[in-house]
A and B are shown apart, each in its own frame.
Chain A
Amino acid sequence: MAVTLGKRKRRDILVAESEQEHIDDDDARALFQRAFEAKFKPLEETVRPIDRPEAVPSDHALNEGDDEDRTSDWNGLSDDDARVEVVEHDTADEAGDQLARQEQKAFMSSRPPTATLRESKTTSQAAPTTADDEAETSNLKHDLALQRLLKESHLLDRSSTASSTMAPEGKTRVKALDLRLRDLGAKKSLLEQEKMPLAHRKGIKAKAAGREVTRRKEAVENGVVLEKVKMASQPQKRRERGVGAPSIGKFRGGTLKLSSHDVKSIERSRQQGGSGKGRRR
Chain B
Amino acid sequence: MAATPAPTALKFTGSKYLVQRLVLATLTGRPIRISQIRSRSHTSPGLAPHEVSFLRLLEALTNGSQIEFSYTGTTVLYKPGLITGSAAAGYGAQGGVIRHEIPAECGRGVSYFLLPLCLLAPFAKAAVSVLFTGPGVITASTEAGDVSADTVRTAILPLFKDFGVERDLELRILRRSNAGRDGKGGGGEVQLVFGHQVRLPKTVHLMSAGRVKRVRGVAYSTGVAGANNARLIEAARGVLNEVAPDTYIFSDVSSAPFVPAPTRENPAAKRKTGLGFGLSLVAETNTGAVYSADIASPPAGGEPPEDLGRKCAYQLLEAVEQGGCVSSVAAPTFLTLMAMGSEDVGRVALGKEVLGSEQVVQLARDLRAFGMSGWGLRDGDEEDEVVVSVVGKGVGNVGRKIV
Which residues of A are interface residues toward B (Cβ below 8 A)?
100, 103-104, 107-108, 110-115, 241-245, 247, 281
Does B40 lie at the interface of the complex (its beta carbon under 8 Å from any beta carbon of A)? Answer: no
Instruction: Give the distance to chain B from A281, nearest Cβ to Cβ, in Å.
Output: 6
Does B264 lie at the interface of the complex (its beta carbon under 8 Å from any beta carbon of A)? Answer: no
Q: Are A103 and B248 in contact (CB under 8 A)?
A: yes
Instruction: Give the distance to chain B from A116, nearest Cβ to Cβ, in Å.
Output: 11
Q: Nearest B residue to A104 by beta-carbon distance?
A: B250
Q: Nearest A residue to B218 by beta-carbon distance?
A: A108
Does B144 lie at the interface of the complex (its beta carbon under 8 Å from any beta carbon of A)? Answer: no
- In whole angstroms, what is the CA distance A193 to B172 when docked? 45
Q: Nearest B residue to A246 by beta-carbon distance?
A: B402
- In whole angstroms, what is the CA distance A215 to B288 when docked? 70
Does B157 lie at the interface of the complex (its beta carbon under 8 Å from any beta carbon of A)? Answer: yes
Q: Are B250 and A243 in contact (CB under 8 A)?
A: no
Please, which residues of chain B bring their CB within 8 A of the CB of A100? 248
Q: Nearest A residue to B160 by beta-carbon distance?
A: A112
Instruction: Give the distance to chain A from B353, nearest Cβ to Cβ, in Å.
Output: 26
Does B399 lie at the interface of the complex (its beta carbon under 8 Å from any beta carbon of A)? Answer: yes
Please, which residues of chain A bring their CB within 8 A of the CB of B171? 110, 112
Q: Are B216 and A113 in contact (CB under 8 A)?
A: yes
Given contacts A108-B250, A110-B173, contact A243 B153 (CB under 8 A): no
- In whole angstroms, what is the CA distance A107 to B284 when docked? 13
Does B154 lie at the interface of the complex (its beta carbon under 8 Å from any beta carbon of A)? Answer: yes
Q: Are A115 and B402 in contact (CB under 8 A)?
A: no
21 contacts between A and B (CB under 8 A): A100-B248, A103-B248, A107-B216, A107-B218, A107-B248, A108-B252, A110-B170, A111-B153, A111-B169, A111-B170, A112-B154, A112-B171, A113-B154, A113-B158, A115-B284, A241-B402, A243-B125, A243-B399, A243-B402, A244-B1, A245-B402
Interface of A is mostly: loop
Instruction: Give the distance to chain B from A256, nearest Cβ to Cβ, in Å.
Output: 11
- In whole angstroms, what is the CA distance A241 to B248 when docked? 51
- Number of B residues near A (Cβ < 8 Å) is 23
Instruction: Give the distance to chain B from A43, nearest Cβ to Cβ, in Å.
Output: 60
- In whole angstroms, what is the CA distance A243 to B1 when docked? 10
- In whole angstroms, what is the CA distance A244 to B2 when docked? 10
- In whole angstroms, what is the CA distance A115 to B157 when docked? 12
Q: Are B82 and A243 in contact (CB under 8 A)?
A: yes
| A110-B172, A243-B82, A245-B402 known, 12 other contacts, Cβ within 8 Å | A103-B248, A107-B154, A107-B218, A108-B252, A111-B169, A112-B154, A113-B154, A113-B158, A115-B158, A243-B125, A243-B398, A243-B402
Please, which residues of chain A bring their CB within 8 A of the CB of B250? 104, 107-108
Please, which residues of chain A bring their CB within 8 A of the CB of B82? 243
Does B378 lie at the interface of the complex (its beta carbon under 8 Å from any beta carbon of A)? Answer: no
Please, which residues of chain B bring their CB within 8 A of the CB of A114? 158
Q: Which 8 A-B residue pairs are closest in the complex by CB-CB distance?
A: A112-B157, A110-B172, A244-B1, A110-B170, A112-B158, A104-B250, A111-B170, A108-B250
Given contacts A111-B170, A113-B216, contact A247 B154 (CB under 8 A): no
Does B401 lie at the interface of the complex (its beta carbon under 8 Å from any beta carbon of A)? Answer: yes
Which chain B residues (376-403) contact chain A, with CB distance < 8 Å? 398-399, 401-402
- In whole angstroms, what is the CA distance A220 to B170 when docked? 67
Please, which residues of chain A bring their CB within 8 A of the CB of B153? 110-113
Q: Are B218 and A244 in contact (CB under 8 A)?
A: no
- In whole angstroms, what is the CA distance A243 to B171 when docked? 29
Given contacts A103-B248, A104-B250, A112-B153, contact A244 B172 (CB under 8 A): no
Q: Nearest B residue to A110 by beta-carbon distance?
A: B172
Please, which residues of chain B bring their CB within 8 A of the CB of A243? 82, 125, 398-399, 402
- In whole angstroms, what is the CA distance A103 to B171 when docked? 18
Which chain B residues (180-197) contact chain A, with CB distance < 8 Å? none
Instruction: Give the distance to chain B from A75, nearest Cβ to Cβ, in Å.
Output: 45
